[in-house]
Amino acid sequence: MNIFLTGATGFVGGELLVNLSQKAEVEKIYCFLRASSDEEALKRLENIFTLHDDFFDAEKIIPVIGDLFDEDLIKSLLTNKMIADTNVIIHSAANTSFSKIYNDVVEKVNIGGLEKILLWAKQLKHFETFLYIGTATICGNDIKLRIVHEDESPNIHARHLVKYTYTKMQGELLLHRHLPEEKILIARPSIIMGDSRQVVPRSPVILWAVATINLLRFVPVNADASLDMIPVDYAAEAIVKLLFANRKNNVYHISSGKTSATSAHLLSVSLDNYFKDKPRFYFPDKSLINQVKLWAKKRLTEECELFAYGEYLDYWNKTFTHPGELRILLAGLEPYLEFMNLGQVFDNSRLLEDVPSVKQSPPAHVYINNCMKFIEKIDIMEGAVNP
């Protein structure tokens, strides 16, 4: 099997690359990545392996320099004879930003970039499977507090909290427009947070949100709403097993499902056990978020309910050198809180039945104990200003 992998330098793609490189069935992995020179490309790929002391097989892992923005991308892929023997494409590259300021880029990479790869794929002689790393959150924000099944998406009428999930939904529609069903495989992970092993996780993104919530301690979010979270090592292992399995379907959730779902409350118990010097977590009604924002702007009037929580306001006054810091954190955190309030759990019974070697993921409130040291070190302000 010769694989063309995009997004290998990312959170999920990096873990997929390491996992795939250890499979005897895989001959070559052409890694499509951004770099200004061959040396830089090789270094970026080697770093993926250095992080956890994995073996880098230079015979197997071959860089292909490119950018999904490139207008001439299809031509340069077609003229590259080395990658003409590709039979599996794994498209993990995406812009995953929730921030509105990146909406245009998100659209160009996630829809425009994908279409270029699809147009190239269609011209490959030995092409068998296009594995698209989608996201379960394409179901949109009208579905609340219940289990979501694969067949509910893509739904073109779904409303979206952020452009990112909209573009990932459009991505799936593009796949169906360009490829026959038997060549399509869609893996839709839920929220991927950290790593269940005692290692440095490849990405701090979702752990940043956890670290921020841990710092705030008073968090207006529905603490009992279920949260579907999985560790990246589980996600990569499940996706690779799915690729090699005899599949009955071509769309699969990669998720915690009901059995391993967590919640803000369950996560807070684990955090409280580790960070004993902080005030206990308190989750007031989510409607208080606007008062918190006004307080951070020093515009909250005295009769407001938030003043009843003086212990937390004192704590914030001591924690933040300026209330503006809280404002910046809230701006970054708010989309995550909105996702948390949705209470969506993604049914994983299809994956567990069709690929019996994939077992249930560990619950996030359990494996998060292996991420505590990393959470402690996250630069929270830096993560907020640089989403």
Ligand X SMILES: NC(=O)c1ccc[n+]([C@@H]2O[C@H](COP(=O)([O-])OP(=O)(O)OC[C@H]3O[C@@H](n4cnc5c(N)ncnc54)[C@H](OP(=O)(O)O)[C@@H]3O)[C@@H](O)[C@H]2O)c1
* Residues at the site binding ligand X, with contacts judged by CB under 6 A: 6-7, 9-13, 33-34, 67-69, 92-96, 109, 113, 133, 135, 168, 189, 191-192, 203, 206
The two tokens of residue 27 are 């001959």
State which residue, 133 or 340, has the beta carbon closest to ligand X.
133
Rounded Cα gap, residues 178 and 116, in angstroms? 11
Question: Bridge partners of 321?
Answer: none
Cα of 106 vs its chain's centroid, Å: 14
State which residue, 69 or 307, has the beta carbon closest to ligand X.
69
- Taking alpha carbons only, the member of 372, 359, 48 closest to residue 230 is 359
- Least distance between ligand X and beta carbon 326 (Å): 25
Q: Which residue is nearest to ligand X (CB)?
A: 10
State which residue, 11 or 218, has the beta carbon closest to ligand X.
11
Q: Which region holds residue 289: left if phi is over 0, alpha if psi is between -120 and 50, else beta?
A: alpha
Rounded Cα gap, residues 106 and 97, in angstroms? 7
- Least distance between ligand X and beta carbon 7 (Å): 4
Q: Which region holds residue 369: left if phi is over 0, alpha if psi is between -120 and 50, else beta?
A: alpha
For CA atoms 337, 133, 262, 141, give the dihedral sign: positive
State which residue, 107 or 354, has the beta carbon closest to ligand X.
107
Yes or no: say if 342 and 144 are a contact pair by the CB < 8 Å rule: yes
Yes or no: say if 49 and 230 are a contact pair by the CB < 8 Å rule: no
State which residue, 133 or 148, has the beta carbon closest to ligand X.
133
The two tokens of residue 220 are 């207006």
Give the type of residue at 337: L
- Least distance between ligand X and beta carbon 134 (Å): 7
- Least distance between ligand X and beta carbon 182 (Å): 22
State which residue, 168 or 350, has the beta carbon closest to ligand X.
168
- Least distance between ligand X and beta carbon 16 (Å): 9
- Least distance between ligand X and beta carbon 157 (Å): 21
User: ω into residue 180 within 30 of 0, thus cis?
Assistant: no
Rounded Cα gap, residues 205 and 270, in angstroms? 19
State which residue, 279 or 362, has the beta carbon closest to ligand X.
362
- Least distance between ligand X and beta carbon 27 (Å): 22
